[in-house]
Amino acid sequence: MALFIVFLLFLVQTYGVSGCYTSIFSFGDSLADTGNYAYAEETKRSYDNFPYGETFFHQPTGRCSDGRLVIDFIAQALGLSLMPPYLGHSNKDFGQGVNFAVVGATALDSAFFEERGVQVMTNYSLGVQLEWFKQLLPSLCVSPSNCNSMLRDSLFLVGEIGGNDYNDPFFQSKSAEEVRLIVPSVIDIISSTITALIDEGAVTLMVPGNLPIGCSSSYLTIFQSQNKNDYDPSTGCITWLNEFSHYHNQLLQNELNRLRELHPHANIIYADYYNVAMELFQYPTRSGFKQDVLGACCGGGGPYNYNLTAKCGYEGSTSCEDPSLYVTWDGVHLTEAAYKWIATGLLKGPCSDGRLVIDFIAKALGLSFIPSYLGHNIQDFKQGVNFAVDGATTLDSAFFKKKGIRVVITNYYLEVQLGWFKQLLPSLCDPPSEPE
């Protein structure tokens, strides 16, 4: 009688998970912009020039990469068309969603930075993007109930956002202590945006964390240090900068937990960009990238091929032969190959906190939200049960301890979960019939 998640996971791997969401709404910055900034700004930027866009589109599209972004891969995996930017398009283009993300956007309003003497690239902050959405919404659906079902069947991507709230002050010589003080405000605005979207009717929201900035060619160049202790010996990334990203991500996850309790019907997914990218920086060759992974594909020289006076797309910069071997595209943004890897991790693997994949499957099969094993009892498990645990590893925790790896945050590794399943199973189905 019970359809088990073990079986379901097999299904998803075999058949994929398209057709679950009918549209995507996206908010964020250059990690997700598919053309808003390029449309809006009169001053041309490096992103408007070749080799941006060389890989998939064969021309610049306003995306800050050689090709597709995480959001493009998510749209394609869901069987949707690539996301049109909000600016420069009209309602008839928005049948499968719309992208409000803008290159350079901050989570906090530009006034916040003005007051602190920090220049930002654009004033299309998260708050402005939310306003665009609110204004547009009534024209996308004909009646309130129609709007509700449309929003229920939509995937909301809130971020990555916040990166520029730190990049701008860091690159304008503010101290780490000063920048750290901004983090709680950034989390607050992301949180209130999520709340506003849920109030409008959003149900599934994916919220990416920040990438490890200590592995970014731009940060590695600008914060170069003679002190070996500043660098993580296993990756060559700058440890204190990665700790900064980690701090943002930790506060964000705490806040998402709080929001989940406040809005139990919403499906709030944390997308762990940090750890999935860290895997690339730690073990690049395992994923098909070249060993020396910190240098940008496209840039104007220097130890990480990042040169402020000769940025990718401008004179004096050159581009690598094969971007698919590189993680970093232009020193700030990643290559299509790296974004594809991240998106695949989110959709198929354990790189979101598990909720996304499970949610897709349950939805595709018309099942109710699958209850977690812990904190529920047998009556709740008629349509299955979810043994996945945030932070769970395949290998047991002792393995990681022995290797001195401290990323393991739970002891409920795969074998423990299998144990739960075995214990539970007899109570879920009729007793095996005795031989006559």
Ligand X SMILES: *[C@@H]1O[C@H](CO)[C@@H](O)[C@H](O)[C@H]1NC(C)=O
The helix (run of H) or strand (run of E) holding residue 199 is: helix 176-200
Q: Is 330 a catalytic residue?
A: yes
State which amino acid sits at residue 229: N
Give Cα 111 distance to the centre of its chain.
Answer: 26
Asked whether position 302 contacts ligand X by CB under 6 A, the answer is yes
DSSP conformation class of 368: P
Q: Which is nearer to ligand X, 16 or 302 (CB)?
A: 302
Cα within 13 Å of Cα(50), Cβ side: 6
Site for ligand X contains 350 (CB under 6 A): no
Dmax over CA atoms of the chain, in Å, equals: 85
Contact pick of 85, 300, 331, 354 for ligand X (by CB under 6 A): 300
Query: Between 276 and 312, whose beta carbon lies closer to ligand X?
Result: 312
Residues 6+ apart with CB under 8 A from 315: none
18 flagged as catalytic: no
Identify which of residues 46 and 344 has a Cβ nearer to ligand X in the complex.
Answer: 46
Is the preceding peptide bond at 51 cis, omega within 30 degrees of 0?
yes
Question: Using the rule CB under 6 A, is 307 a contact of ligand X?
Answer: yes
Q: How far is the CB of 85 from ligand X (least distance, A)?
A: 17
In the bound state, the residue with its beta carbon closest to ligand X is 301
- Is 310 a binding residue for ligand X by CB under 6 A? The answer is yes
Per annotation, catalytic residue among 23, 26, 30, 319: 30
By rule CB under 6 A, what string of x and - marks binding of each residue 121-140 to ligand X?
Answer: --x-----------------
- At its nearest, how many Å lie between ligand X and the CB of residue 172? 18
- Measured from the CB atom, is 119 or 192 closer to ligand X? 119
Closer CB to ligand X, 123 or 324, in the complex: 123
Q: Which is nearer to ligand X, 95 or 301 (CB)?
A: 301
Q: Which residues are CB-neighbours of 385 under 8 A, at least 6 positions away?
A: 2, 4, 5, 370, 371, 372, 373, 376, 424
| Closest to 342 measured CA to CA, from 328, 363, 358, 331 | 328
Amino acid identity for residue 240 in this structure? W
Check if the beta carbon of residue 204 is closer than 8 Å to that of residue 21: yes
Could you give the count of Cα atoms lying within 13 Å of 142 in the half-sphere of its Cβ? Answer: 0
Residue 38 within binding range of ligand X, rule CB under 6 A: no
Quick one: which segment of 76-84, 243-251, 277-285, 304-312 binds ligand X (CB under 6 A)? 304-312
236 binds ligand X (CB under 6 A): no
Quick one: which segment of 147-155, 306-314, 367-375, 418-426 binds ligand X (CB under 6 A)? 306-314
Smallest gap from residue 84 Cβ to ligand X (A): 22
Between the two ends of the chain, the Cα-to-Cα distance in Å is: 23
Quick note: the x/- pattern for ligand X over 88-127, rule CB under 6 A, is -----------------------------------x----
333, 352, 353, 359: the catalytic one is: 333
Residue 193 CB, shortest distance to ligand X, in Å, is 17
Q: What are the tokens at 88?
A: 């420069």
Cα Rg of the chain, angstroms: 22
The tokens of 353 are what?
Answer: 């906190």
Task: Choose the binding region for ligand X from 157-165, 184-192, 209-217, 295-303 (rule: CB under 6 A).
Answer: 295-303
Smallest gap from Cβ 104 to ligand X, in A, equals: 11
Tell me the site size for ligand X, rule CB under 6 A: 8
* 58 backbone φψ class: left, alpha, beta (φ>0; ψ -120 to 50): left
309 binds ligand X (CB under 6 A): yes
Among 95, 138, 301, 349, binds ligand X (CB under 6 A): 301
Closest CA to 305 of 188, 395, 220: 220
* Helices within 239-314 (DSSP H only): 239-262, 273-282
Q: Which residue, among 428, 429, 421, 416, has the nearest Cα to 373 in the 3D structure?
A: 421
Q: Residue numbers of the site for ligand X (CB under 6 A)?
A: 123, 300-302, 307, 309-310, 316
Residues with catalytic function: 30, 330, 333
